[in-house]
Amino acid sequence: MLAHAAPGGPAYAILGRHIPPGGINDIDARLGLNISVWRQFAIWWWHVLHGNFGTSFVQGRPVMDVIGAYATRTLWLYLLATVMALAGALCLGVLHGVTYDRAGGRVCSALELALYAMPGFFIATLLSMVFCTWLRIFPAGGMSDLHLDAPGFADRLRHVVLPATSVALFVTPWLARILAQSVHTERGRDYVRTARARGLSPTRILLRHVLPNAVRPMITVLGYCLPAMFSGSIVVESVFDYPGLGWLLWRSAFAHDYPVLIGIVLVVGIATLLGNLAADLLNGVLDPRAVYA
Mean pLDDT across the chain: 87
Question: Percent of the chain scored above 70 by pLDDT?
Answer: 94
pLDDT at 293 over 50: no
What is the pLDDT averaged over residues 102-116? 93
Q: Specify the amino acid at residue 11.
A: A
pLDDT at 46 over 90: yes
What is the pLDDT averaged over residues 207-219? 88
Measured CA to CA, the distance from residue 47 to residue 52 in angstroms comes to: 5
pLDDT of res. 113: 93
Lowest mean pLDDT among 22-26, 231-235, 289-293: 289-293
Measured CA to CA, the distance from residue 289 to residue 293 in angstroms comes to: 13
What is the pLDDT averaged over residues 17-41? 83
pLDDT of res. 15: 75
| Domains along the chain with CATH numbers | 73-243 (1.10.3720.10)
- In tens, the pLDDT along 261-276 reads 999 999 988 888 888 8
Q: What is the DSSP string of 185-232?
A: HHTTSHHHHHHHHTT--HHHHIIIIIHHHHHHHHHHHHTTHHHHHHHH
Report the predicted TM-score, pTM, of the whole model to 2 decimal places: 0.84
pLDDT of res. 146: 59
Q: What is the DSSP string of 111-148?
A: HHHHHHHS-HHHHHHHHHIIIIIIS--S-SSSSS-TT-
- In tens, the pLDDT along 231-252 reads 778 889 988 989 899 999 998 9
pLDDT of res. 64: 94
